[in-house]
Amino acid sequence: MKNKYSPDILNCLANLSSDEVFTSPELANRMLDLLPQELFRSSKTRFLDPCSKSGVFLREIAKRLLAGLEEQIPDLQQRIDHIMTQQVFGIACTDLTAEMSRRTLYCSKQANGEYSVATCFDNAQGNLRYMRCQHIWNLQGRCKHCGASQSEYLRTDAYETYAYPFIHKSIKEIFQKDMQFDVIIGNPPYQMGDGGNGASATPIYHHFVEQSKKIAPRYLVMIIPSRWFAGGKGLDEFRETMISDKRVRHLEDYLNASDCFGNGVEIKGGVCYFLWDRDNIGSCHIVTHTTDGTISESTRFMKIGDNDVFVRRNEAVSIFEKVSKKYEPVFSTIVSSRRPFGLSTNVEGHDNKEENDITIFQRGGTAFFEYSKIEKNIEWVNKYKIYITKAYNAGDDYPHQIINKPILGLKGTCCTETYILIGPFETKGEANNVISYIQTKFFRFMVSLRKISQDATQKVYQFVPLQDFSHPWTDEMLYKKYDLDKDEIAFIESMIRPME
C-alpha cells in the first residue's frame, strides 16, 4: 500500500490568504529557535501567545517541552497535563480562533472535552482564553487602547468587534489571577481599518509589542511588518523606542514577506521577527533576507547617531555614515509637504482652456484649471519646479527605481495631492540640474534608506544631501565626492536600476 501524504492542517491555513496572516509550523519553529533551548528543558518555564490564531506556536512549544521534560516527568500523561496546565498559555484573537487554537493544542475545541489530550481541566477554555471585549471610545472617536475607529468598529454583539483582549484587558482579568511569563511569542494582527478613504488602515501590531514589554517577560519574540523601520501611521514613538532598545538582540528581516511566510503573502515593505532579551543588553545581530535568496549578517546597534529610523540594509551603513559625515543640508528642505497647492487628489481640471487657466498635473495626466482656485503657495505657479508622484511601488524587488520619474513643471502649472513638488527654482536650467541629480542611482539609493512603503512624501528625502545645482550631476561625480569604495558602489548599482 502506498504511503498517503497527510499535510499539516496548519500549513494549509498558512496558505489560505493574506487577509489574516497565519504562521506556518516551519516559521514558528524558526522563531522558537531564537530562544535559549534550555527553556524547553525546564518544567517551570511559562510561555504565552497573546494573539493566538491557529495555535501553532503553542503546539510547537508543547512538542519541544514534551521532548525536553521526558527525563524529569517520565509518565507521558503526567507530562502532558503538566505542560498544558502549568507552562503553555494563550489568548486568542477572536472566538473562532480560540476554538481553532484549542483544537490545535488540545486536539479538542474544548479543553475538558472527551478527546482532549489534557485530562485535568475543569473548564472548556483551559489555558487558551478568549473574552469578548468592547472598545472604549475617546472624544476623537478612537479606542483609547488600540486606536480603532468608532465609525468602523462600534458594533452589536452579533458582529466581531476586534477589540483584542491582550491590549484591552489585564492578564489578571483574562486568567483570573496574576501571572508572570518567561516567554511571550506570537504573530499579532497587523492593522485595522481607520475609517479613511479606500483601504486606509492604522497599524495595531505595535500595541502587542508594547503591552508585552510592560508585562516584562524574560524573552519576547514577535513577527511584525517591517514598515516601522522608517514609516507608518502613529509609529514614530514606537520606532524610536525600538531602535534605541538595546535589549533587541536579534532581528531577522525579510525584504519580501512571501520569502518569510512562504505562501505568496504580500505585505508592502516586508516583515521581520525579533528577539527581545530583558536581562541582556548589547548590540543586535541583524540578518537580512533578500528577494534573490542572499543573506547578509551584521552585529550592530540599531540606532546610528541621532538618526530617527533604522538603516535596514547592513551593506548600506558605511555609505550612510560617509554621507552623514559631510554634515550637508538635506534635500527634503526643498520638497513640499502634501497638497503643495492645497488641492486634494479628487480635484479635477477641465479639457478646454479658458481665460486665466493654468495647467494642472492631476491623477491620470494633465488638464486646465482656474488660477483663482489655487488655495496656497500661489507664488510657485509662475516659477519652475519639479513634480514627482507621492506614491510609487514599495520596492520589494531589486534592482528597483524607488521613486517615479521627475517631471519638469514649467511656469504656469500647478498640481494636486497626487504629486509632491520640488523647488521652486528661478531658472529652467537649475530645475533640469536637479532632475539630473534625482535620476542618479546615488540619489534614489539614499531615498531608499527611508522609503519602505509606497508613500514617497517629504520625509523620505531626509537622508539625501543637498547639492550645488549650478551644474548637472552624475553617479560618478557623487561616488567620488563621498569617497565610496568599489564594494559600496557595487551595492548601490545592485539595488537601484537606471531610471526609465
- For residue 454, pLDDT over 90 is answered with no
Least reliable range by pLDDT among 110-119, 156-165, 218-227, 484-493: 156-165
Least reliable range by pLDDT among 140-144, 156-160, 286-290: 156-160
Least reliable range by pLDDT among 152-161, 190-199, 258-267, 464-473: 190-199
Q: What is the pLDDT of residue 200?
A: 65
Residue 480 domain-assigned (yes or no): yes
Between 221 and 305, the more confident residue is 221
Instruction: Name the band, by pLDDT with cuts 50, 70 and 90, for residue 14.
Output: very low
Distance CA 220, CA 183 (A): 6
Instruction: Name the band, by pLDDT with cuts 50, 70 and 90, for residue 15.
Output: very low
Instruction: Name the band, by pLDDT with cuts 50, 70 and 90, for residue 396.
Output: low
Rounded to a whole number of angstroms, the CA Rg of the chain reads: 26
Instruction: Name the band, by pLDDT with cuts 50, 70 and 90, for residue 477.
Output: very high
Residue 448 domain-assigned (yes or no): yes
Total number of residues shown for the chain: 500
- For residue 263, pLDDT over 80 is answered with no
Residue 401 domain-assigned (yes or no): yes
Q: Can you tell me the mean pLDDT for 453-462?
A: 90
Share of the chain above pLDDT 70, in %: 93
pLDDT digits (tens, 9 = 90+) for 289-311: 988 888 999 999 999 988 899 99
Residue 262 domain-assigned (yes or no): no
The predicted model scores a pTM of 0.88
pLDDT digits (tens, 9 = 90+) for 407-440: 999 999 999 999 999 999 999 999 999 999 999 9
| Residues of the domain holding 340 | 331-495
Q: Can you tell me the mean pLDDT for 215-232?
A: 94
| Residues 350/368, Cβ–Cβ less than 8 Å | yes
Q: Can you tell me the mean pLDDT for 383-402?
A: 84
Residue 207 domain-assigned (yes or no): no
Q: Can you tell me the mean pLDDT for 15-23?
A: 56
Distance CA 53, CA 196 (A): 27
Least reliable range by pLDDT among 15-29, 103-117, 481-495: 15-29
384 by Cβ neighbours in 10 Å (0-12 / 13-18 / 19+) ranks as buried
Q: What is the pLDDT of residue 1?
A: 40
- For 174, residues 6+ apart whose C-beta sits below 8 A from its C-beta are 91, 129, 131, 165, 166
Share of the chain above pLDDT 90, in %: 78
SS3 annotation, the chain: CCCCCCCCHHHHHHCCCCCCCCCCHHHHHHHHCCCCHHHHHCCCCCEEEEEECCCHHHHHHHHHHHHHCCCCCCCHHHHHHHHHHHHEEEEECCHHHHHHHHHHHHCCCCCCCCCCCCCCCCCCCCCEECCCCCCCECCCCEECCCCCEHHHHCCCCCCCCCCCHHHHCCHHHHHCCCCCCCEEEECCCCEEECCCCCCCEEECHHHHHHHHHHHCCCEEEEEEEHHHHCCCCCCHHHHHHHHHCCCEEEEEEECCHHHHHCCCCCCCCCEEEEEEECCCCCCEEEEEECCCCCEEEEEECCCCCCCCCCCCCHHHHHHHHHHHCCCCCEHHHHECCCCCCCCCCCCCCECCCCCCEEEEEECCEEEEEEHHHCCCCHHHCCCEEEEEECECCCCCCCCECCCCCCEEECCCEEECCCEEEEEEECCHHHHHHHHHHHCCHHHHHHHHCCCCCCECCHHHHCCCECCCCCCCCCHHHHHHHCCCCHHHHHHHHHHECCCC
Residue 345 domain-assigned (yes or no): yes
Q: What is the pLDDT of residue 16?
A: 40
pLDDT digits (tens, 9 = 90+) for 67-89: 999 999 999 999 999 999 999 99
Q: Can you tell me the mean pLDDT for 154-169?
A: 86
The per-residue pLDDT of the chain, averaged, comes to 91
Q: Is the peptide bond before 50 cis (omega within 30 degrees of 0)?
A: no
Between 289 and 233, the more confident residue is 289
Residue 201 domain-assigned (yes or no): no
- For residue 353, pLDDT over 70 is answered with yes
Q: What is the pLDDT of residue 488?
A: 97
Residue 267 domain-assigned (yes or no): no
Instruction: Name the band, by pLDDT with cuts 50, 70 and 90, for residue 394.
Output: low
Q: What is the pLDDT of residue 196?
A: 55
Assign residue 394 the CATH number of its domain.
3.90.220
| Residues 220/208, Cβ–Cβ less than 8 Å | no
Q: What is the pLDDT of residue 181?
A: 97
Q: Can you tell me the mean pLDDT for 440-462?
A: 92
Q: Can you tell me the mean pLDDT for 62-66?
A: 98
Q: Please tell me the total count of domains within the chain.
A: 1
